[in-house]
Amino acid sequence: MSRKPPLLTGALELDLRGTVGGFPLRVALTAPAGRVTAVFGPSGSGKTSLLRAAAGLTRLSGFVRAGGAVWQDDTAGVFEAVHRRNIGFVFQDAALFPHLTVRENLRYAERRNDLAPDAAGPLSFDRVVEELGLSRHLARSPEGLSGGETQRVALARALLTGPSVLFLDEPLSALHLGARAAILRTLRQLAPEIGFAALHVTHDPGEVAAVADRIVLLAEGRVQAAGPAERIYERLDAGDRTARFEAGSLLVARMATPPDAGGIAEVDLGGERLRIPAPAGPPPGVGREVRVRVMARDVALARQRPEAVSIRNILAGEVVSVTPDRKPPDCEVVVAVAGSRLRARITDEAAQELELRPGLPIFAMLKSIAVEDP
Partner 1 sequence: MIALPLVLPPTVLGFYLLIALGPDGPGGAVARLFGERSLAFSFPGLVIGSVIYSFPFTVQPIRSAFEAVGDRPLEAAATLGASPGDAFRTVALPLARPGLIAGAVLGFAHTVGEFGVILMIGGNIPGATRVLSIAIYDHVEALEWGTAHLLSAGLLVFSFLVVAWTLTLQKKRRRAPS
Q: Which CB sits closer to partner 1, 113 or 340? A: 113
Instruction: Quote the CA–CA distance of 124 and 131 in Å, as a whole number.
Output: 11
One-letter amino acid at 36 equals: V
Stretch that binds partner 1, among 155-163, 189-197, 308-316, 317-325 (CB under 8 A): 155-163
158 near partner 1, rule: CB under 8 A: yes
Rounded to a whole number of angstroms, the minimum distance from the CB of residue 101 to partner 1 is: 7
| Residue of 21, 23, 61, 82 that binds partner 1 (CB under 8 A) | 82
The alpha-carbon radius of gyration of the chain (Å, integer) is: 22
The overall longest dimension of the chain from CA atoms, in Å, is 70
CB atoms within 10 A of CB 214: 21
Taking CB under 8 A as the criterion, which residues in 3-62 touch partner 1? 3, 55, 57
Convert 94-114 to b/e letters by CB count within 10 Å (16 or more is b).
Answer: bebeeeebbbebbbbbbeebe
142 near partner 1, rule: CB under 8 A: yes
**Helix-strand-coil split of the chain, %, nearest 5:** 25, 35, 40
The DSSP-derived string for 105-172 is HHHHHHHT-TTPPPTTSTT-HHHHHHHTT-GGGTTS-GGG--HHHHHHHHHHHHHTT--SEEEEESTT
Rounded to a whole number of angstroms, the minimum distance from the CB of residue 160 to partner 1 is: 8
User: Which of 151, 150, 164, 145 is CA-nearest to residue 13?
Assistant: 164
Task: Give backbone dihedrals phi and psi of 247, rounded to 5 degrees, phi first.
Answer: -65, 140
Rounded to a whole number of angstroms, the minimum distance from the CB of residue 130 to partner 1 is: 21
- The end-to-end CA distance of the chain, in Å, is 37
| Residue of 37, 48, 161, 164 that binds partner 1 (CB under 8 A) | 161
Stretch that binds partner 1, among 42-50, 61-69, 87-95, 205-213 (CB under 8 A): 87-95
Q: Which CB sits closer to partner 1, 8 or 82? A: 82
Stretch that binds partner 1, among 62-70, 75-83, 190-198, 357-365 (CB under 8 A): 75-83
Number of residues that bind partner 1 (CB under 8 A): 31
| Residue of 18, 88, 195, 248 that binds partner 1 (CB under 8 A) | 88
**How long a stretch of residues is the chain?**
374
103 near partner 1, rule: CB under 8 A: no
124 near partner 1, rule: CB under 8 A: no
* 8 A C-beta contact, residue 317 and residue 342: yes
Stretch that binds partner 1, among 36-44, 112-120, 198-206, 302-310 (CB under 8 A): 112-120
Burial of residue 327 (number of CB atoms within 10 Å: 0-12, 13-18, 19+): exposed
139 near partner 1, rule: CB under 8 A: no
* 8 A C-beta contact, residue 148 and residue 178: yes
Stretch that binds partner 1, among 88-96, 212-220, 294-302, 348-356 (CB under 8 A): 88-96
Rounded to a whole number of angstroms, the minimum distance from the CB of residue 174 to partner 1 is: 16
Q: Which CB sits closer to partner 1, 81 or 243? A: 81
Measure Cα distances from 210 to 171, 180, 186, 189, 260 in Å.
15, 10, 12, 12, 23
**Site mask, partner 1, residues 165-184, x = CB under 8 A?**
--x-----------------
| Residue of 143, 287, 307, 328 that binds partner 1 (CB under 8 A) | 143
Checking phi first, is residue 207 left (phi over 0); if not, alpha (psi -120 to 50) or beta? alpha
Q: Which CB sits closer to partner 1, 95 or 225? A: 95
138 near partner 1, rule: CB under 8 A: no
Q: Which CB sits closer to partner 1, 84 or 273? A: 84
Checking phi first, is residue 232 left (phi over 0); if not, alpha (psi -120 to 50) or beta? alpha
* 8 A C-beta contact, residue 80 and residue 164: no
Rounded to a whole number of angstroms, the minimum distance from the CB of residue 169 to partner 1 is: 11
371 near partner 1, rule: CB under 8 A: no
- Contact footprint for partner 1 (CB under 8 A): 3, 55, 57, 81-83, 87-89, 91, 93, 95-99, 101, 108-109, 112-114, 140-144, 157-158, 161, 167
